[in-house]
Structure 1
């Protein structure tokens, strides 16, 4: 390793927009290294230290040795984001969701503490924002997606979300504000939004809605509350079997669902949320709120979007069965940054990690990948503080359930799995490269029929 380079960080006041992004962890100040630069080479370079990046770095370490693997990640903390649903409802602490990145990087694997600035697949190089150029033989891209709170008019100017009773379970900086808004609720509308973009964990925006209903019933405030779910989608949930069950729940709990409604503006001083009617473009509807949960618009990682690795939409262009890049055979992708046509969840990452591990093993031997990812993903739909509908499905949108029971029913056993089992499986299984999804167990439970 070269001598340590002391980097001076220069703060800029040029962009209020960037400072807003910085506030919510979606834009970081770049560092300046002057003329200093260094070059390193790794057999496998992993971009991103989220669930997919850490899982694959662990698998690559076992396959090739720690000295041949490096991970580029700037964050000092790693978060288990699926538990934020329960943090926003006061059932878990935000501290329980995070661990130092240093504790999840596989021992011996090189941790490059920096942001990825540019990817150059034609020269097999990556440049970081501290001036380092890293070359690779194989590249695994796991950079996640981008949150765009700033695309909602009026939201960037709001300094005090607690004061204006706004929360969002999608950011570590805002998830506890959801709990504050819920606790401070008196009477009126509780509004929950779903944006007109791809999102990670598409069930999360309504999970907090069901938990809000449960909390208000428990505290005796439900009679004075009007709970509304305003979604840009034309359906309540994308898989019919689970959507039918959820429609019964919203009907029985007197929850109002407005389809094809997209949040475009927040007027905090008036506590108003403005939604566009997507079936009649230009037509808007204003909702007063006592509590507002914002699911931000989301989009592709800008580094991926700005590279030749992206498809037309800016997502990493990979084969949906092997996770190998469609144009660069030594590049692979996993997780939210890819254009895989399935829901973006940690459960999907687990299943993908197993397939990608096999794909890379075959490529290393100059053989053709022989295992195919079927699009498996899972969404534990939390419907109260003690019940969950465990949705599992594949690329075709058909249920692909692990247990030999009807998983569209609310069950306390599935809540226990969501709240207590899955976090342990994440920290000690997925991130260590030992958990590749429930596929093998599904076959056992269904006597080999699935």
Structure 2
């Protein structure tokens, strides 16, 4: 059922019990990076972050956990340890927005007022959209690298399986890190090849989409690995049900003349990527577009209707890849434009749609996909150093050794290495 747009979250108008110059909804990578980038520009800002979570996760590391490369605990830290010290942490759940009165409504009818608002709550992983999936996750050979507590089970299954059928799924777009479903598949296949089991395992990739990867320039390199591992590709197939006890998966696909058909297939290992959408409190709000995403200008990341609201990260309707790399590039843009809207900085910063997907095609090698809006290839490094269209050991070193500390000590601390915002009008960025 579609959620109705809310003009008021409750029958009574509660009293405001907190007020801040800037309120940020969401303390994931986008929210923390934006807060730090703001404070790097103006250290005395009054900022509050609303997020109920106790733990902050480095989610790009979960693919490596699922391959036995990272330990799971290295991808998690207490939320209080990553938030900037000058930021007020409101540990609560957002219920609704009242943009006309510059208010965020929390569960329990508390109100937080703002002068400016930044919305970046991330995505909702809709595990319940697949019949039977929640009941069997983490057992019966069903796993997912999209959850912290399940990535270790992925590695356990990869090590244990001696033969049979291994299925890897990808739901309809958009999803966070569109390459992650394949990363799990390639790294699993590489381990089976290294341990002499590849010929005994039937590997299948079921994607709801029409192609292996959204940017065609990187497909040839990926196809070489698909062929090398003997992976069977199935496009247009969406996972709709799982019977863990029977080890059966049900897929549905649309038919050319209309309608759809479903079929069941068995498995010994099933790596699932759940459908994903904006959180309910976003989809039900006046901030959302018709599809339920935070409606922002794709270049400035300013809300199209409410001038004192900005959005970034996975919950916006910008047509970029939903990755940590995108959030890292967006945070300085939002920080600059928010302060420019206050008259504190000159000019307007522009986000070009940059996203990055380090496709782990085997242990020790990565196809480093980097691109802008429209799928335009945009490499950070010269091709003689890292050619993103070819598997590269140096790109693996970047993923394994450099990106995690860059995330914890750079991005979350407001250090904008390689991501200084581009200005639209000749001004220098702060």
Q: TM-score, normalised by structure 2?
A: 0.90
For the Cα contact (< 8 Å) 1:322–1:369, is it kept in 2?
no
* Cα shift at 1:108: 2.1
Q: Distance in 2 between matches of 1:367 and 1:438?
A: 18
Alpha carbons 1:44, 1:60 under 8 Å: kept: no
Between the aligned partners of 2:339 and 2:157, the Cα distance in structure 1 is 49
2:16–2:113 Cα contact (<8 Å) kept: no
Structure 1 position 174, deviation (Å): 1.9
**How far apart in 2 are the matches of 1:299 and 1:408?**
30
Counterpart contact for 2:37–2:332, Cα < 8 Å: no
Q: 1:58 aligns with which of 36, 47, 57?
A: 36
Are residue 319 (structure 1) and residue 300 (structure 2) matched? Answer: no
Does 1:421 pair with 2:402?
yes
2:66–2:154: 8 Å Cα contact kept in structure 1? yes
Q: In 2, Cα distance between the equivalents of 1:437 and 1:170?
A: 28
> Paired residue for 2:264, among 275, 286, 289?
286
1:127-183 superposed Cα distances (whole Å, 9 cap, x missing partner): 11143211000000010110001110111332x633x01110111132222122212
CA-to-aligned-CA distance 1:411-449 (integer Å, 9 cap, x gap): 1110010111001110011101112645799xxxxxxxx
8 Å Cα contact 1:202-1:343 kept in structure 2: yes
1:407, distance to aligned residue in structure 2 (A)? 1.2
Classify the secondary structure of the residue corresponding to 1:431.
helix
Report the counterpart of residue 167 of structure 1 in structure 2: 143
- 1:36 and 1:333, CA in 2 relative to 1: closer, same or farther beyond 3 A? closer
Is the aligned partner of 1:200 residue 2:171?
no
1:255 is the counterpart of 2:236:
no
Q: Whole-Å Cα distance in 2 between the matches of residues 290 and 348 of structure 1? A: 35
| Higher mean C-alpha displacement, 65-74 vs 296-305 | 65-74
* Structure 1 unaligned residues grouped into runs of 5+: 1-34, 442-450
- Corresponding residue to 1:238 among 196, 214, 220: 214
Corresponding residue number in structure 2 for 1:411: 392
1:335 counterpart = 2:316? no
| 2:190 is equivalent to residue 214 of structure 1 | yes
When residues 334 and 68 of structure 1 are mapped into structure 2, their CA distance, relative to the original with a 3 A threshold, is same
Q: 1:307 aligns with which of 285, 292, 296?
A: 285
Matches of 1:338 and 1:436 in 2, distance apart? 24
Q: 2:380 aligns with which of 378, 382, 402?
A: 402
Equivalents in 1 of 2:99, 2:417: separation in Å?
28
Correspondence 1:34-113 to 2 at 5 A: 39-65=17-43, 68-113=46-91
Q: Which runs of 5+ in 2 are unaligned?
A: 1-12, 423-430
Q: CA deviation at 1:222?
A: 1.0
Q: Does 1:274 align with 2:250?
A: yes
Larger relative CO (CA 8 A, sep 6+): 1 or 2? 2
Match in the other structure for 2:130: 152
CA–CA distance in 1 between the matches of 2:420 and 2:369?
15
1 CA distance for matches of 2:281 and 2:318? 18
Instruction: Measure the CA separation in 2 of the matches of 1:93 and 1:185.
Output: 21
Kindly indicate whether residue 335 of structure 2 is the aligned counterpart of residue 354 of structure 1: no
Matched residue count: 405
- 2:375 counterpart SS class: coil
- Against the structure 1 CA distance between its residues 195 and 41, is the aligned structure 2 distance closer, same or farther, given a 3 Å change threshold? same
Deviates more, 1:123-132 or 1:390-399: 123-132
Residue 272 of structure 1: how far off its partner (Å): 1.1
